[in-house]
């Protein structure tokens, strides 16, 4: 497949009238608890199992056709809050959340380089907005305190209908999807009128529990043929309502004439749940063919849908390079013209070469690391190439997997390849020691 050179981006951005906006715009759409197989997008073209056998998401299919599907896309963490913090600073939660010095890290996090600081340094005319679920917890920094020009303020699960608040139920604005989308579209309209480049993050409350949906959507979904891993109409309806928001955002970008200079990212904050109240036990695991689910360092907990469309990206392209939400900040820095060197503590790398069909993301280290402890059961994972280890600290167990032919992590190869397992564990341990990460669960 022939890729479109990223130099086309520069030609597109420069081919505008004098005085008009020339910087790239960025829209990041973040779903909540959405599985790698939680849409009708085929996340791995050669594996029909890599999409839902029930849900229909034409908005995400449209985005995938416009741009690039990353088959091996990862969230920074298998839980919500650490991912949301990590996206802002491009750093693994091992650096800024799961620390031995629990009292010092909140203030440290607030002072780190983040997305608004990067873009406003690249060009002071950038305007930044965050609408939807913020949910940073702990010291509870607000979007405005982190540099955002517009936002809903501090929001959390409860704002959009959290687990325990009711449901399944039909409501007028399920998971506040209309509110979020309306705010996002108005923000883009304002920036287009002002000629200001922008960063917009749309963080959905869906498809996190509890389950809310439009009645008309549920009536439509009930006509579909249920699958073996996905079959609950109410959950499918909630997914469809969120997907319709993606379609509306793409429509607005087109309507405003911003398509040629706007990058749109879509990913989830973590993998899908294994259990849904009221749905019973499925004939097939909900994240099949992946192992594990939200909260786990197996692929089902951290591999997520990851789509990017924008100028210079070949429509309908596929890239199998491992990428992560940590790469968003360095990518924005690269594409916006940020001219300072990013700190060594930034764990992501620019995806610019990958957008042009490249197979390597230049990061400060040759691996992706995932880690949790303190208030979570201490577990870590590290991926280098197609090799991955999962380390469960309380049991002192290290598992080794070859993801090139075992994305379901069914065969632990640590016994057959002990040296490789030890080498990867050494990399993991050295990194966690370097950043001062806790490796125990210190609270019950």
pLDDT exceeds cutoff 60 at 191: yes
Please report which helix (H) or strand (E) contains residue 355, including its range.
helix 352-355
Mean pLDDT, all residues of the chain: 94
Closest C-alpha among 341, 165, 320, 180 to residue 245: 180
CATH topology of domain 7-355: Alkaline Phosphatase, subunit A (3.40.720)
Helix locations, 202-351, DSSP H:
215-221, 233-255, 299-302, 328-336
pLDDT exceeds cutoff 70 at 426: yes
CA 428, chain centre distance (Å): 23
CA 141 – CA 136 distance, rounded (Å): 7
pLDDT exceeds cutoff 90 at 13: no
CATH 3.30.1120.10 segments of the chain: 368-435
For residue 108, the model assigns a pLDDT of: 85
Burial of 280 (0-12, 13-18, 19+ CB in 10 A): exposed
Alpha carbon of 422 to those of 186, 208, 388, 399, 419: distances in Å? 53, 37, 12, 10, 5
Three-state DSSP state, 393: helix
CATH 3.40.720.10 segments of the chain: 7-355
CATH architecture of 368-435: 2-Layer Sandwich (3.30)
The overall pTM is greater than 0.85: yes
Phi-psi region of 122 (alpha: psi -120 to 50; beta: other; left: phi over 0): alpha
Closest C-alpha among 109, 173, 175, 121 to residue 145: 109
| Residue 15 pLDDT level (bands cut at 50, 70, 90) | very low
CA 304 – CA 242 distance, rounded (Å): 16
Span 226-247, pLDDT tens digits: 999 999 999 999 999 999 999 9
For residue 106, the model assigns a pLDDT of: 75
Please report which helix (H) or strand (E) contains residue 158, including its range.
helix 157-160
> Going by DSSP bridges, is the β-strand pair 323-324/73-74 parallel, antiparallel, or unpaired?
parallel
Tokens of 430: 């050295």
Side-chain-facing half-sphere of 55: CA atoms under 13 Å: 33
């Amino acid at each position: 497949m022939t890729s479109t050179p990223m130099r086309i981006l520069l030609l597109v951005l420069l081919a505008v009238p004098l005085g008009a906006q020339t910087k790239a715009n960025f829209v990041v759409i973040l779903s909540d608890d959405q599985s790698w197989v939680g849409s009708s997008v085929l996340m791995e073209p050669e594996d029909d199992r890599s999409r839902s056998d029930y849900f229909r998401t034409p908005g995400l299919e449209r985005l995938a056709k416009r741009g690039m599907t990353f088959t091996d896309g990862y969230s920074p963490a298998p839980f919500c809050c650490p991912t949301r913090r990590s996206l802002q600073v491009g750093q693994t939660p091992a650096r800024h959340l799961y620390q031995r010095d629990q009292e010092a890290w909140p203030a440290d996090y607030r002072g780190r380089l983040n997305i608004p600081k990067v873009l406003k340094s690249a060009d002071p005319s950038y305007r930044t907005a965050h609408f939807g679920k913020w949910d940073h917890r702990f010291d509870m920094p607000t979007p405005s305190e982190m540099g955002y020009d517009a936002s809903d303020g501090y929001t959390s699960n409860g704002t959009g209908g959290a687990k325990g608040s009711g449901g399944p139920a039909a409501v007028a604005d399920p998971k506040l999807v209309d509110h979020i989308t309306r705010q996002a579209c108005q923000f883009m309209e304002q920036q287009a009128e002002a000629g200001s480049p922008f960063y917009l993050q749309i963080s959905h409350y869906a498809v996190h529990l509890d389950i809310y949906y439009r009645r008309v959507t549920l009536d439509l979904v009930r006509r579909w043929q249920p699958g073996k891993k996905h079959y609950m109409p109410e959950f499918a309806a909630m997914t469809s309502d969120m997907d319709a928001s993606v379609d509306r955002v793409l429509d607005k970008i087109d309507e405003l004439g911003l398509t040629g200079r706007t990058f749109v990212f879509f990913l989830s904050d973590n993998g899908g749940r294994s259990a849904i109240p009221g749905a019973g036990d499925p004939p097939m695991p909900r994240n099949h063919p992946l192992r594990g689910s939200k909260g786990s360092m197996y692929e089902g907990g951290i591999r997520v849908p990851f789509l990017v469309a924008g100028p210079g990206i070949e429509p309908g392209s596929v890239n199998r390079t491992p990428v992560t939400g940590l790469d968003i900040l360095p990518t924005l820095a690269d594409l916006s013209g940020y001219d300072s060197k990013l700190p060594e503590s930034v764990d992501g790398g620019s995806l610019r070469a990958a957008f042009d069909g490249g197979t390597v993301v230049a990061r400060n280290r040759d691996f992706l690391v995932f880690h949790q402890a303190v208030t979570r059961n201490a577990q870590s994972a590290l991926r280098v190439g197609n090799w991955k280890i999962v380390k469960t600290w309380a049991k002192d167990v290290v598992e080794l997997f070859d993801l090139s032919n075992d994305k379901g992590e069914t065969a632990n190869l640590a016994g057959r390849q002990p040296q490789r397992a030890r080498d990867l564990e050494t990399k993991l341990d050295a990194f966690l020691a370097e950043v001062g990460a806790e490796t125990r669960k210190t609270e019950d």
